[in-house]
Amino acid sequence: MGSLPISPPIAPMLAKLQRELPRGDGWLYEPKWDGFRAIVFVTGKDVYIQSRDKRPFNRYFPELPGALTETLPAECAVDGEIVVAGPKGLEFDLLQLRIHPAESRVRMLAAETPASFVAFDLLAVGERSLMDAPFAARRDELHGLLAGRDGSGVPGPGSTQILLTPRRHARTRGSGRCCWGCTATACCTSWATRRRSARPSASGCAAS
């Protein structure tokens, strides 16, 4: 695809369920979004959205390609999550309705309950593959590329947003609120931690 050194399909780096969150300097903490995992490949104005099981997702989310090309670099591969936000938070049930054979219904739902994309990993940019780079370095570069071009935090209802997932170097506890300042019901349902040294070719995540 264009000048990108990688192309779909690519197996995503998946989390492993854990009873306790890992702790220590070797981990980064993020929300685990209630959505569909997706890897986005952008080459100029062309966008290919790949699902977790390596299938094309474009037809189910017609509102995303335009927003992705406006926000992401012209040549990149970005890992993240597709979510739909409602008045009370993220709505996985609304998201599931998108997987429908009728194009007219998909477009109606895209207008009524638009999806957003939350980015959390950069796999390639331009002619450079980052597949062998540690996660901390990939995440820092993604943050630099999206600085001032994206939103940050929790997607809101009624519009398509391209956001950079917030992160913490350590998990903290609040009173009825998550580490990112939003109410727990309005954002993630659980936590994901990622090894700073993790590479996409091997599992480097833990979920709780």
Residue 154 pLDDT: 64
Q: Which of 16, 32, 45, 54 is catalytic?
A: 32
Residue 184 pLDDT: 39
**Does 154 fall in a domain?**
yes
Output the domain CATH number for residue 49: 3.30.470.30
Nearest-5° angle of CA 145, CA 119, CA 123? 70
Residue 193 pLDDT: 65
Residue 186 pLDDT: 43
Domain count for the chain: 1
Residue 80 pLDDT: 94
How far is residue 139's CA from residue 77's CA, in Å, rounded to a whole number? 13
How far is residue 119's CA from residue 104's CA, in Å, rounded to a whole number? 28
**Does 73 fall in a domain?**
yes
How far is residue 145's CA from residue 139's CA, in Å, rounded to a whole number? 10
**Does 161 fall in a domain?**
yes
Judging by DSSP bridges, how do beta strands 15-17 and 89-90 pair with one another? unpaired
Q: Which of 32-46, 54-68, 72-86, 140-154 has the lowest mean pLDDT?
A: 140-154
Q: Amino acid letter at 149?
A: R
With 50 as the cut, is the pLDDT of residue 205 above it? no
Residue 58 pLDDT: 97
**Does 28 fall in a domain?**
no
Alpha-carbon torsion (10, 205, 78, 196), positive or negative: negative
Give the structural domain span for 84. Answer: 34-167
Per-residue model confidence as pLDDT tens digits over 159-196: 888 888 775 544 444 433 444 344 434 444 565 666 77
32 in active site: yes
